[in-house]
Amino acid sequence: MLLTVQAVAKAHDGTVHVAVEKLAFTPAEIEVGVGETIEWTNRDPFAHTATVKGGWEVLIPPGKSATHVVAPGDTVDYFCRWHPNMKGRIKVIA
C-alpha cells in the first residue's frame, strides 16, 4: 500500500514562509488568512516569480526574499513565469 502525505503550511505570527529552491516552491500548498503575509525566500542562483495568471506577480531575486499581503479572493494557483513547472497553491482561510 502506498500512502501519500501532503504538507500544508499555515501562517504563524501573520507570515507563512515558502522556500524557493531546486526549481520548486516548498511547501507547494499554503493556507493563509486575509491580511497575512506570504514570504518567498529564493535559495536558487537565478530569479523566480510567484505569478497568478490574470492577477498579481511577485519577483523573487536570487538569494533574496519577497512578500505578498493576502487579499480577499486570493485563493489561487500560482507558478514561476520563467519556470512554468514550478507550481503552488494559496488557500485563503477564515
Domains and CATH numbers, the chain: 8-93 (2.60.40.420)
CA distances from residue 71 to 18, 62, 67, 77, 88 in whole angstroms, order as listed: 18, 26, 13, 14, 17
| pLDDT score recorded for residue 29 | 98
Cα separation, 31 vs 29, in Å, equals: 7
Kindly report the pTM of this predicted structure: 0.86
Cα separation, 30 vs 8, in Å, equals: 5
pLDDT in tens, 62-91: 999 999 999 998 899 999 999 999 999 999
Asked if residue 8 has pLDDT above 80, the reply is: no
Asked if residue 6 has pLDDT above 50, the reply is: no
pLDDT in tens, 32-70: 999 999 999 999 999 999 999 999 999 999 999 999 999
